[in-house]
């Protein structure tokens, strides 16, 4: 298949890499030539470091960089847009590219919190629009297939089949704020943040509870830090505006961002970070009272 990835963002680079590794022909587009070529360079370095790849050069041969949107989308079977969640901007973009693509081409918004139903309104054939929400594209197997109000059954099926070719697992969800995985992820992170703010447990203890008790690979606070707390706050605020009090941003998150402690990007948040790794807690451990002696100890006054 021919895949056009619009935007050499971190998400765009990752999606382009996954598609090329799967054997698809990929055109990675960015308005700036340097950004497009830098995107390919980043992918080349990651391929070279991937010991599981027998022939990184063969994968790289599947990848082309371009600055032209028309050049990227012509003959594409799938067009993945990764740069914006703004419905008006997406409507204009999709209206612009539709004359250059085939009737069966899938038009796929993938940016976080994109409203697929609103974006599809820019198409003469909105039934071809379907969202794909990649969860850590290079590592996680989950890809949410987000069904807009206009998405046809055939489009949904083809999108799920495309995800399967990437050696990823499609999960079909209805279009809505945050889809499913983001809402579940942030609900867990919010409670973890509030446990720390309420001095119920330390940062590390909260994360260990999920890692040891529920087999999570990464704790919710480390995950939020790694993603960047400023972006997390923006997502909480978006979901709060759309879904109400259950996604009100925790006060501790607001305080950390206001202090410039935005997690891994700044080197400090819920954790202190060194060389891309969480080291020690960035917040003081709570003072959890403990008795020095047993209540029945006859020596206790």
pLDDT at 2: 98
HEC per residue, 122-164: CCCCHHHECEEEECCCCCCCEEEEEECCCCCHHHHHHHHHHHH
Q: Are residues 164 and 15 in the same domain?
A: yes
Q: Are residues 169 and 20 in the same domain?
A: yes
Residue 266 lies inside a defined structural domain of this protein? yes
Is residue 224 pLDDT above 60, yes or no?
A: yes
Q: Per residue in 8-33, pLDDT tens? A: 999 999 999 999 999 999 999 999 99
* Structural domain of 166: 2-174
Q: Are residues 156 and 193 in the same domain?
A: no
Q: What average pLDDT does the segment 242-254 reach?
A: 97
Is residue 73 pLDDT above 70, yes or no?
A: yes
Residue 289 lies inside a defined structural domain of this protein? no
Residue 34 lies inside a defined structural domain of this protein? yes
pLDDT at 293: 65
pLDDT at 299: 56
Number of folded domains that form the chain: 2
Q: Are residues 126 and 218 in the same domain?
A: no
CATH of residue 272's domain is 1.10.1040.10
User: What is the pTM for the complete model shown?
Assistant: 0.87
The percent of the chain in helix, strand and coil, each rounded to the nearest 5, is: 45, 15, 40
Question: Mean pLDDT lowest for which of 19-23, 101-105, 134-138, 203-207?
Answer: 134-138
Last residue of a domain, one of 174, 197, 216: 174
CATH of residue 108's domain is 3.40.50.720
pLDDT at 296: 65
Is residue 60 pLDDT above 70, yes or no?
A: yes
């Amino acid at each position: 298949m021919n895949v056009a990835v619009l935007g050499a963002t971190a998400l765009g680079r990752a999606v382009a890499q996954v598609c090329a590794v799967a054997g698809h022909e990929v055109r990675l587009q960015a308005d700036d030539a340097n950004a497009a070529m830098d995107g390919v360079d980043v992918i080349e370095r990651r391929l070279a470091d991937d010991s599981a790849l027998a022939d990184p050069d063969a994968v790289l041969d599947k990848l082309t960089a371009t600055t032209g949107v028309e050049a990227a989308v012509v003959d594409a079977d799938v067009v993945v847009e990764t740069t914006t969640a703004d419905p008006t901007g997406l409507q204009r973009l999709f209206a612009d590219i539709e004359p250059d693509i085939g009737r069966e081409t899938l038009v796929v918004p993938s940016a976080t919190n994109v409203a697929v139903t609103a974006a599809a309104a820019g198409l003469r054939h909105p039934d071809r629009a379907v969202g794909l929400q990649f969860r850590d594209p290079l590592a996680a197997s989950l890809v949410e297939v987000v069904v807009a109000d206009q998405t046809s059954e055939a489009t949904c099926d083809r999108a799920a089949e495309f995800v399967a070719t990437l050696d990823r697992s499609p999960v079909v969800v209805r279009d809505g704020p945050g889809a499913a995985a983001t809402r579940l992820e942030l609900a867990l992170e919010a409670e973890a943040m509030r446990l720390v703010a309420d001095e119920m447990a330390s940062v590390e203890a909260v994360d260990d509870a999920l890692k040891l008790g529920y087999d999570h690979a990464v704790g919710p606070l480390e995950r939020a830090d790694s993603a960047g707390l400023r972006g997390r706050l923006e997502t909480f605020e978006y979901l709060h505006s759309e879904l109400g009090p259950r996604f009100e941003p925790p006060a501790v998150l607001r305080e950390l961002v206001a202090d410039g402690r935005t997690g891994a990007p700044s080197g400090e948040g819920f954790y202190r970070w060194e060389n891309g790794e969480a080291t020690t807690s960035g917040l003081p451990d709570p003072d959890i009272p403990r008795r020095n002696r047993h209540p029945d100890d006859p020596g206790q006054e």
